[in-house]
Amino acid sequence: MLVNDCISINRNILPMDDFKKVKKQVQEHNDHNGIGCTEFEILTCTAFMIFAMEQLELALVEVGLGGRLDATNVLTEDDVLVSGITKVGIDHESFLGSTISQIASEKAGIIKKGVDCVVDLTNHRDAMEAIRAKASEEGSPLHEVTSTSLTRRLIELSPLKGNYQEQNLAVALEIVSLLKEKHSFQISDEAIKRGIKNTTWPGRLQTIKEPKTGIELLIDGAHNESAAIELAGFLDGYREGKGIIFVVALTKGKSVENLLKHIVKPGDTIIPMEFLQPEGMPWVHSYSGEYVGQEAKKYAELEQTGISNTDELFAYLKGLKAQGDDRKVVACGSLYLCADILRAVNYAPTH
């Protein structure tokens, strides 16, 4: 879970040395010409340069924030075969707006003139109105999808957890269908099934075990209210009638309240933490564990404070288990916290 893991080719992460070599070329070009790119823009240019060098036939590009003004949106209608919009929630309000409609308008900025767009039809009606308006403005066919009997059969093949995965799969299947029908990609039904079976999503309702202590955790990157609601729905069947030990860290600017008010129940306790500064992302900062703890006290008892790293976390959890505490452990609030935990257990996705 390092900076180079943002680029994978045929499910293989680009080696760090290769990544740094290309990024250095991009940075030197930026400095020589006085362009003034942000760090994310440098990363985006690095990715596109690597795609070109590797002569990729097809690339799946995820926006960083929003869509309309995102660095990845430099792609034009000549570059994009199909765009996709999944569930729109309230997030990054200081950049994207404070309402679903405003945020959806920003996300709809990825829609290209005349290019097909697939959207999750279960979105809020205000989001759908904004997306429909943009598609109409661009003359782009809009494919509004929801789960079908086929989706429900195929989702049974997936190792991913969470009810929302069914809608995500519906969007993905429609995108694949368009690639086959309109762009002549040869993708067999068996290939689709293999893809579903082999899909991994680190940090999303993922169960991991720390090898030295044997501590098992469920980690989830839920960091906004809509994601917290989805996590809460999953936890209803995960609790087995017991409380949960939550390990919580959040990025500055996120709402601790909008996370905890949905997931915490009587009998739960909270371990407040902060995540390590992500490499190559100077714009990302963690709340202090002290701040998270102060906010968390409104919702549950604090299990322990002052834990500053994953070694201390696992040692403390081991002590709890030794005392007979058999509650499940859930780490959430930030994908950066999930990344810290995955590094601690030497996680590497299978290929």
Reported confidence tier of residue 350, pLDDT bands at 50, 70, 90: very low
Same domain, 101 and 171: yes
Q: Is residue 103 part of a domain?
A: yes
Quote the number of domains for the chain.
3
Same domain, 227 and 325: yes
- For position 52, what pLDDT does the model report? 94
Which of 158, 180, 198 terminates a domain? The answer is 198
The boundaries of the domain holding residue 298 are 206-345
Structure confidence by residue, pLDDT tens digits, 86-125: 999 887 766 788 899 999 999 999 999 999 999 999 999 9
Structure confidence by residue, pLDDT tens digits, 276-297: 998 777 888 999 999 999 999 9
With 90 as the cut, is the pLDDT of residue 248 above it? yes
> Is 222:234 a contact under the CB 8 Å cutoff?
no
**3-class DSSP assignment, residue 21:** helix
- For position 349, what pLDDT does the model report? 55
Q: Is residue 351 part of a domain?
A: no
Same domain, 87 and 184: yes
> Is 331:205 a contact under the CB 8 Å cutoff?
no
Q: Which pTM value belongs to this model?
A: 0.87
Query: What is the C-alpha to C-alpha distance for residues 190 and 192, in angstroms, rounded to an integer?
Result: 5
- For position 89, what pLDDT does the model report? 83
Same domain, 251 and 219: yes
Query: What is the C-alpha to C-alpha distance for residues 270 and 305, in angstroms, rounded to an integer?
Result: 9
> Is 309:274 a contact under the CB 8 Å cutoff?
no
With 50 as the cut, is the pLDDT of residue 351 above it? no
